[in-house]
Amino acid sequence: MTCTACPAPVHTQFVSPGLVEAIVEGGLDPADDPRWAESGAKSPEEYARWAGHLCGMACLRMALGTGAPSLFALRDGALAYGGYTEDGDGVIKGLVYAPFARYVAESHGLDAVVHPRLSPAGILELLDQGRTVMASVHYGIRHPERPAPGRGGHLVLITSRTADGAGVHFHNPSGTTAATRAATLPLPVFERFFAGRGVCLPGVPG
């Protein structure tokens, strides 16, 4: 999927964009996604277990541009660096920013910088420097007309300011419609969902 507003491709963390809403809001088992194998997962069960945790890998795929590795190839790389961990009960934890940044730098040659404290104004400054920003937001950002249920827990890739310069354009790996997968929001609205942290990457190649 292409974007008319920026060079970054539009990827979702579930392979079938048309099923994202059914999965994240309707309770559909991700294992029923008929395109699961395109993710690089070894089985529908592995895909179903992990895909909901891979918003960061979907953002990285978009930041790498066309020809990026599969979602699970990126997952494997991040996992090897400690970007994800599993506890004794098999609970998946991550994305852990510092090892993820090392992975991105050493395996993909991208200058990744962790921002444990990042203001909305700081996001705009990074965009003006030609960077993209993986920002921690609440997944409820796909419904900006509603009150924000919280902040953080999900990652989106911010690629540019809006045309008027006062908002942000971003790609949401769990967007349920075309308009929420490649979205624009005024900065004060975005801020309601934003946790104040993230990772910046180079601009997406055109």
Task: For 138-149, write each residue's pLDDT tens digit.
Answer: 999 999 999 999
The reported pLDDT for the residue numbered 205 is 84
Work out the burial of residue 168: count CB atoms within 10 Å of its CB; fewer than 13 is exposed, 13-18 middle, 19 or more buried.
Answer: buried
16-25 pLDDT per residue, tens: 999 999 999 9
Query: How high is the mean pLDDT of the chain?
Result: 97
Cβ pair 157, 183 in contact under 8 A: no
The reported pLDDT for the residue numbered 88 is 86
Q: Percentage of the chain surpassing pLDDT 70?
A: 100
**pLDDT of 1 above 90:** no
185-204 pLDDT per residue, tens: 999 999 999 999 999 999 99
Q: Is the pTM of this model over 0.95?
A: yes
Torsion over CA: 68, 22, 55, 125 (sign): positive
Cβ pair 94, 78 in contact under 8 A: yes
**SS3 label, residue 50:** helix
